[in-house]
């Protein structure tokens, strides 16, 4: 193995670029998902349902928490990939 090649037989900068692109796309997808949750819930909020405003806000924050948790896990895997390159 020379200094320019990683364990997978490709150049190290290629692996680092893919890991960084994965991190960037994860952040973009998480931000888009949380925006979609806000937009969808606010636009489809209808009168006559059994939920109060507090319940709706709680549901939105729970959905955002799950999205952020999944994004953090994905970012950690991308970070491990970048460190392994």
Q: In whole angstroms, what separates CA 9 from the centre of its chain?
A: 29
Check residue 52 and give its pLDDT: 83
Inside any domain, residue 2 = no
Inside any domain, residue 1 = no
Rounded Cα distance, 32 and 18, in Å: 21
Check residue 3 and give its pLDDT: 58
Inside any domain, residue 80 = yes
Inside any domain, residue 52 = yes
Among residues 71, 75, 38, 69, the alpha carbon closest in space to that of 56 is found at: 38
48 DSSP assignment: T
Inside any domain, residue 35 = yes
Rounded Cα distance, 19 and 49, in Å: 44
pLDDT, tens digit, 9 for 90 and up, residues 43-61: 877 766 788 889 889 989 9
Check residue 29 and give its pLDDT: 96
Inside any domain, residue 34 = yes
pLDDT < 70: residue spans in the chain: 1-8, 47-48, 85
Which residues are registered as beta bridge partners of 11? Answer: 5
CB 30 within 8 A of CB 68: yes
Angle between helices 53-84 and 12-43 (to 10 degrees): 180
Q: Where in the sequence is the domain holding 65, given as residue range(s)? A: 12-84
Give how many domains the chain has, as a whole number.
Answer: 1
The whole-model pTM stands at: 0.75
């Amino acid at each position: 193995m020379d200094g320019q090649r990683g364990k997978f037989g490709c150049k190290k900068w290629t692996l680092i670029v893919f890991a960084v692109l994965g991190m960037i796309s994860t952040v973009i997808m998480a931000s888009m998902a949380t925006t979609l949750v806000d937009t969808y819930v606010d636009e489809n909020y209808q009168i006559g349902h059994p939920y109060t405003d507090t319940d709706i806000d709680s549901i939105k924050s729970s959905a955002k928490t799950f999205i952020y948790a999944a994004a953090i896990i994905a970012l950690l895997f991308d970070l491990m990939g970048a460190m392994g390159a």
